[in-house]
């Protein structure tokens, strides 16, 4: 972004981020049962210093704010655990216990946060849980606060969306997520300084307990442990299923992840379906109409609260206008013939928004959000026939390098662009060189250096993390396998989803000539699923009505989970050609959790 930015002398955010502090977690490390550190807030102590020349000043400031950790009072009866994970955990005191909202990413930090709360507010039992939405940072730590024998509220469709990413593109998202979060970068002024929404995500035990109370409509009211809650459904913008909610007796509004102290993603760089900026803006406007004027405090599952009705209304209006402007102006320029990259290069948000800290691109960015809006409406193709059937990266790189006189000449030219400050084109040239010869040491080193400089200058934390992780892999190779986001979630998959997870692993060409039908009779679910392998595609149908299978397998869901985990067929019975199961399993590819990104 260009133009006049926020006022660096305005310390309102720092005052609000520190307001209500009761106690910090000392030391700021959380360990699992084996003693492994799964969260380390103390590693970010360097953020107390002045911004170095290896970080964007605005992003440094944002990370300083996110580094505030401990137990905070939001208003009487409502408390937050902040700075112990990527997200916040909110605790609302009821008649008998405490209601937990969004229990972090993993169980160990959630448990530590609850213990910190109890040390200062008494040993109150957890009397209910609310998942505000379906992303893991809003539910993954639930096993650290409850065994599920309490009301657990969630928006309709929660379970389907909470696990669906792990069914379809979980391994790919996990690999790109390592770049997105920078989770393998060392914390420090030249490395990891945050994610914009928070410092980082914990690496503990991810858990999921199914909700037992569903929120289906705006205006729905529920009472949990004497606490009255009014809900607003907001499916689609930030998460596929999400909701805001209001506590009338506290005059407190929870905005989930729909309004945060930075510009959010319209398309997260780790990969996801494109979000709807238009609907996002409309939900924010609806929240203003429903709740904002009566609220005394607004809090969310990231960042710090906003106090005062006038301040809350202004904050939500600006957030509303931000997403509406990006959406509408992108479409205006699309209809004038501009493509996504051109719009992203020139679109500027209005000065009145540009001056606000909470509209800055510390997590999302104007650039990649504009490209996402273009993609949502127009797809990957920009209409230019030259871009309709281009060579894939390796083949294109080899040809470009050949035209430019060889790798050494490409590196020399890239050095010139770098020295003149055009890091973007230097990266383009050097990427071609590396994709032509990934073993070319000078090209790798030069590209790593350019990525590092681009990262140091990035306002967006996720851009910084992508650049710095790219530089790290060029210099030192790929890191060890990151923690599995799906740990503890397999049992939450439906049988349909389990078979879908099998279907997307079928190696199509190997299965072209195969044709067989297997019936799976589930004794615990009192139903039968039929899988048909035909033309390299595995399709599934529940309760088949005609035809005979080649094999019938009688089992329960637990046995299917064990089979897919490679633990054999114990407890399963067979009727028909038993070899078909081995044939099916033999056609399945294993996902590659460490596939190449910055090299071919």
Same domain, 436 and 551: no
For residue 3, pLDDT beyond 60: no
pTM: 0.96
Q: What is the mean pLDDT of residues 432-440?
A: 98
Non-local (6+) Cβ contacts of 368 within 8 A are 265, 266, 267, 269, 344, 460
486 in any annotated domain? no
Looking at the structure of the chain, the number of domains it has is 3
The answer to whether residues 533 and 584 touch, using CB atoms and an 8 Å cutoff, is yes
200/505 Cα distance (integer angstroms): 31
Among 324, 344, 364, the domain boundary falls at 344
Q: For residue 27, say if its preceding peptide bond is cis, omega within 30 degrees of 0.
A: yes
The answer to whether residues 440 and 156 touch, using CB atoms and an 8 Å cutoff, is no
For residue range 182-202, what is the model confidence (pLDDT) as tens digits? 999 999 999 999 999 999 999
| Strand, helix or coil for residue 74 | strand
- pLDDT confidence of residue 163: 86
Q: What is the mean pLDDT of residues 563-583?
A: 96
Same domain, 532 and 394: no
452 in any annotated domain? yes
Same domain, 111 and 190: yes
On average, the pLDDT of the chain sits at 96
Same domain, 467 and 567: no
372/344 Cα distance (integer angstroms): 10
600 in any annotated domain? no
Same domain, 334 and 468: no
The DSSP line for 484-501 is -TTTTTGGGS-HHHHHHH
Q: How many CA atoms lie within 13 A of 202 on its CB side?
A: 38
Q: What is the mean pLDDT of residues 482-493?
A: 60
- What phi and psi values does residue 325 have, to the nearest 5 degrees? -65, -45
Among 344, 373, 403, the domain boundary falls at 344
150 in any annotated domain? yes
Q: What is the mean pLDDT of residues 503-532?
A: 98
Instruction: Fill in the DSSP letter of residue 569.
Output: -
pLDDT band for position 488 (cuts 50, 70, 90): low
Same domain, 437 and 533: no
Q: What is the mean pLDDT of residues 36-65?
A: 98
Q: What is the CATH number of the domain that holds 168?
A: 3.60.15.30
Q: What is the mean pLDDT of residues 399-409?
A: 98
The answer to whether residues 341 and 324 touch, using CB atoms and an 8 Å cutoff, is no
The answer to whether residues 58 and 51 touch, using CB atoms and an 8 Å cutoff, is no
For residue 486, pLDDT beyond 60: no
Structure tokens given for 527: 């139903």
- pLDDT confidence of residue 4: 76
Same domain, 312 and 266: yes
368 in any annotated domain? no
Per 3-state DSSP, what percentage of the chain is helix, strand, and coil (rounded to 5)?
A: 40, 15, 40
Among 315, 344, 373, the domain boundary falls at 344
Least confident of 2-6, 130-134, 509-513: 2-6
For residue 309, pLDDT beyond 60: yes
- pLDDT above 90 covers what percent of the chain? 94
Overall residue count recorded for the chain in this entry:
600
Same domain, 299 and 421: no
Q: What is the CATH number of the domain that holds 539?
A: 3.30.1050.10
Distances 177 to 256, 423, 455, 469, 523 between C-alpha atoms, Å: 21, 24, 16, 11, 38
- pLDDT confidence of residue 157: 94
558 in any annotated domain? yes
Instruction: Fill in the DSSP letter of residue 588.
Output: B
Same domain, 153 and 253: yes
Phi-psi region of 556 (alpha: psi -120 to 50; beta: other; left: phi over 0): beta
Q: Look-up: residue for tokens 């996110």?
A: 66
For residue 57, pLDDT beyond 90: yes
Q: What is the mean pLDDT of residues 304-314?
A: 98
Torsion of CA 126, 130, 131, 136, to 10 degrees: -20
- Structural domain for 542, as ranges: 494-586
The DSSP line for 501-536 is HHHTTB-TGGGTT-EEEEEEEETTTTEEEEEEEETT
For residue 2, pLDDT beyond 70: no
For residue 503, pLDDT beyond 80: yes
pLDDT band for position 492 (cuts 50, 70, 90): confident
For residue range 130-176, what is the model confidence (pLDDT) as tens digits? 999 999 999 999 999 999 999 999 999 999 999 887 778 989 999 99
Does an H or E element contain 70, and which? strand 70-75
Q: Look-up: residue for tokens 């442990």?
A: 225
130/546 Cα distance (integer angstroms): 44
90/98 Cα distance (integer angstroms): 10
For residue 432, pLDDT beyond 50: yes
Same domain, 577 and 525: yes
Non-local (6+) Cβ contacts of 480 within 8 A are none
381 in any annotated domain? no
The DSSP line for 139-174 is TTTGGGT--S-S-EEEETTHHHHHHHHHHHTHHHHH
591 in any annotated domain? no
For residue 498, pLDDT beyond 60: yes
For residue 482, pLDDT beyond 80: no
Same domain, 253 and 301: yes
pLDDT band for position 483 (cuts 50, 70, 90): very low
Same domain, 456 and 504: no
């Amino acid at each position: 972004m260009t133009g006049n930015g926020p006022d660096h002398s305005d310390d309102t955010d720092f005052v609000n981020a520190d307001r209500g502090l009761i106690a910090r977690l000392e030391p700021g490390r959380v360990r699992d049962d084996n003693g492994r550190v799964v969260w380390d807030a103390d590693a970010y102590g360097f953020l107390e210093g002045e911004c170095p020349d290896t970080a964007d000043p605005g992003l440094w400031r944002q990370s300083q704010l996110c580094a505030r950790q401990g137990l905070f009072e939001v208003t009487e009866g409502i408390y937050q655990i902040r700075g112990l994970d990527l997200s916040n955990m909110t605790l609302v005191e009821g008649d008998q216990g405490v209601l937990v909202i969004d229990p972090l990413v993993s169980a160990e930090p959630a448990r530590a946060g609850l213990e910190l709360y109890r040390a200062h507010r008494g040993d109150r039992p957890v009397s209910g849980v609310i998942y505000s939405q379906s992303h893991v940072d809003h539910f993954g730590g639930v096993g650290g606060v409850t065994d599920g024998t309490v009301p657990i509220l969630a928006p309709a469709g929660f379970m389907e969306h909470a696990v669906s990413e792990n069914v379809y593109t979980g391994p790919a998202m996990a690999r790109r997520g390592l770049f997105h979060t920078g989770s393998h970068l060392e914390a420090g002024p030249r490395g990891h300084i945050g994610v914009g929404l928070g410092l980082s995500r914990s690496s503990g035990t991810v858990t999921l307990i199914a909700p037992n109370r569903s929120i289906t409509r705006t205006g729905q009211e529920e009472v949990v442990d004497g606490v009255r809650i009014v809900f607003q459904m907001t499916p689609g913008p930030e998460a596929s299923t999400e909701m805001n909610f209001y506590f009338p007796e506290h005059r407190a509004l929870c905005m989930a992840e729909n309004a945060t102290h930075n510009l959010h993603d319209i398309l997260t760089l780790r990969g996801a379906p494109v979000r709807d900026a238009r609907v996002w803006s409309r939900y924010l406007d609806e929240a203003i109409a429903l709740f904002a004027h009566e609220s005394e405090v607004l809090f969310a599952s990231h960042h710090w609260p906003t106090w005062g009705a006038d301040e809350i209304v202004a904050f939500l209006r600006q957030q509303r206008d931000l997403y509406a402007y990006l959406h509408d102006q992108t479409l205006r320029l699309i209809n004038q013939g501009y493509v996504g990259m051109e719009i992203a290069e020139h679109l500027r948000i209005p000065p009145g928004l540009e001056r606000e800290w909470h509209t800055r691109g510390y997590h999302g960015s104007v650039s990649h959000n504009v490209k996402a809006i273009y993609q949502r409406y127009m797809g990957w193709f920009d209409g230019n026939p030259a871009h309709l059937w281009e060579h894939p990266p390796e083949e294109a790189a080899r040809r470009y390098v050949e035209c430019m006189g060889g790798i050494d000449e490409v590196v020399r030219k890239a050095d010139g662009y770098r020295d003149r400050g055009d890091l973007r084109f230097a990266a383009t040239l050097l990427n071609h060189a590396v994709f032509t010869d990934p073993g070319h040491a000078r090209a790798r080193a030069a590209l790593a250096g350019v990525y590092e400089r681009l990262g140091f200058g990035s306002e967006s934390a996720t851009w910084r993390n992508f650049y710095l992780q790219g530089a790290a892999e060029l210099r030192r190779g790929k890191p060890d396998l990151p923690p599995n986001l799906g740990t503890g979630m397999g049992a939450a998959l439906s049988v349909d989803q389990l078979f879908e997870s099998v279907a997307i692993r079928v190696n199509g060409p190997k299965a072209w000539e195969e044709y067989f039908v297997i019936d799976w009779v589930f004794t615990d679910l009192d139903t039968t699923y039929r899988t048909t392998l035909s033309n390299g595609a595995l399709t599934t149908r529940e309760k088949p009505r005609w035809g005979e299978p080649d094999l019938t397998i009688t089992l329960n869901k637990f046995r299917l989970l064990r089979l897919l985990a490679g633990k054999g067929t114990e407890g399963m019975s067979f009727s028909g050609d038993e070899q078909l199961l081995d044939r099916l399993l033999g056609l399945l590819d294993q996902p590659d959790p460490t596939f190449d990104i910055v090299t071919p």
